[in-house]
Structure 1
Amino acid sequence: MSTTNVEKKSAEGISEEFKKATNYELTDHDIERANKILNIDLAARDQEQIGTANIDNIRSFAYACGSDNPLFCDPDYAAGTRWGSVIAPSMMAGIINRPLLGDPPTAEYKANTKSLFRGIHVFISGGEWTFYRPIFPGDTLYSFGGEDGIEVTPSEFAGRKVTRFHTDVKVNQRGEVVSTYRYRSILTERKTAREKGKYAAIEPAKYTDEDIAKIDAVYAQEEARGAQKRYWSDVQVGEAMTPGASGPLTVTDVVNFHGAGYGWVPYGLRSGRLWHKNRNRIAPFYVKDANGIPDVAQRLHWDSAWAQAIGNPMAYDYGVMRENYLFRYLTDWAGDDGWVVRQYDEIRKFNYMGDTQFISGEVVGKREENGRKLVDLKVTMTNQRGEETVRCEATVALPDHDGVLLLPEPSDDLKRRAAKMMARHWELLAQKRRG
Structure 2
Amino acid sequence: MTTTDTNFGKELATGKFTDQMLTDMRNLIGTELRTDACVNNEYATRLAILRFAEGIGDDNPLWTDEAYAAAGPYATIVAPPSFIFACLGSVQVGWRGLGGFHAETDITFHAPIRVGDKITARVWFDGFDDPVESAFGGRRIKDYLRQEYWNGDGQLVARFICSRMRFERGEMQKRRGSRAIELPHPWTEEQLAAVEEDILAESPRGAQPRYWEDVRIGDELDTITKGPIGLTDEIAYVASGAAPIPRLSAHGVALRRYRKHPKWAFRDPNTHALEPVYSVHYNDYAARLQGAQVAYDVGIQRTCWQIHSLTHWIGDAGRVKAVHGQYRAHVYLSDVVRLGGAVVGKEIDADGDAVIHLETRAINQRDQNCMPGTATVVLPRREVQP
TM-score, normalisation: structure 2? 0.91
Give the 5 Å matches for 1:182-201.
182-197=161-176, 198-201=178-181
Q: Distance in 2 between matches of 1:157 and 1:202?
A: 18
Displacement of 1:57 after TM fit? 1.0
Report sequence identity in percent: 26
What are the superposed Cα offsets for residues 95-130 of structure 1, whole Å, 9 maximum, x if unpaired? 226xxxxxxxxxxxxxxx9x8311211121221111
Give the 5 Å matches for 1:39-118.
39-42=30-33, 44-46=35-37, 48-96=39-87, 116-118=94-96
Matched to 1:143, the amino acid is A
Q: Distance in 1 between matches of 2:224 and 2:73?
A: 26
Q: Distance in 1 between matches of 2:15 and 2:34?
A: 30
Q: Which moved more, 1:182-191 or 1:142-151?
A: 142-151
Displacement of 1:18 after TM fit? 8.0
Q: Distance in 2 between matches of 1:218 and 1:231?
A: 26
Alignment pair present for 1:382 and 2:363: yes
Q: Is the 8 A contact 2:10 2:266 kept in 1?
A: no
Displacement of 1:22 after TM fit? 4.2
**1:128 counterpart residue number:** 106
**1:432 counterpart residue number:** none
In the alignment, structure 1 segments of 5+ residues that lack a partner are 1-15, 98-112, 404-435
Q: Distance in 2 between matches of 1:305 and 1:47?
A: 24
- SS of match in other structure, 1:261: helix
Q: Which moved more, 1:145-154 or 1:374-383?
A: 145-154
**2:316 counterpart residue number:** 336
What are the superposed Cα offsets for residues 157-196 of structure 1, whole Å, 9 maximum, x if unpaired? 2211110011101111111111100011111111111012
**1:433 counterpart residue number:** none
Q: Which moved more, 1:297-306 or 1:82-91?
A: 297-306
Q: Distance in 2 between matches of 1:74 and 1:125?
A: 34
**1:352 counterpart residue number:** 332
**2:383 counterpart residue number:** 402
Q: What CA RMSD, in Å, does the superposition of the two structures yield over aligned residues?
A: 2.0
Alignment pair present for 1:320 and 2:300: yes
The structure having more radius of gyration, on CA atoms, is 1
Q: Distance in 2 between matches of 1:336 and 1:187?
A: 39
Give the 5 Å matches for 1:27-426.
27-42=18-33, 44-46=35-37, 48-96=39-87, 116-151=94-129, 152-197=131-176, 198-263=178-243, 265-291=244-270, 292-369=272-349, 370-402=351-383
- SS of match in other structure, 1:165: strand
Matched to 2:346, the amino acid is K
Q: Distance in 1 between matches of 2:316 and 2:181?
A: 44
Displacement of 1:367 after TM fit? 0.5
Displacement of 1:297 after TM fit? 1.8
- SS of match in other structure, 1:38: coil
Specify whether residues 126 and 278 from structure 1 end up closer, same or farther in structure 2 by C-alpha distance, changes over 3 A only. Answer: same
Displacement of 1:41 after TM fit? 4.1
- SS of match in other structure, 1:300: helix
What are the superposed Cα offsets for residues 194-232 of structure 1, whole Å, 9 maximum, x if unpaired? 012232344320221111122123213321110010111
In the alignment, structure 2 segments of 5+ residues that lack a partner are 1-6
Greater percentage in helix: 1
Displacement of 1:293 after TM fit? 2.8
Specify whether residues 202 and 24 from structure 1 end up closer, same or farther in structure 2 by C-alpha distance, changes over 3 A only. Answer: farther
Q: Distance in 2 between matches of 1:325 and 1:23?
A: 32
Q: Distance in 2 between matches of 1:47 and 1:351?
A: 24
TM-score, normalisation: structure 1? 0.81
Q: Which moved more, 1:47-56 or 1:328-337?
A: 47-56
Q: Distance in 1 between matches of 2:53 and 2:310?
A: 14
Q: Distance in 1 between matches of 2:273 and 2:18?
A: 30
Q: Is the 8 A contact 1:148 1:165 kept in 2?
A: yes
Specify whether residues 95 and 220 from structure 1 end up closer, same or farther in structure 2 by C-alpha distance, changes over 3 A only. Answer: closer
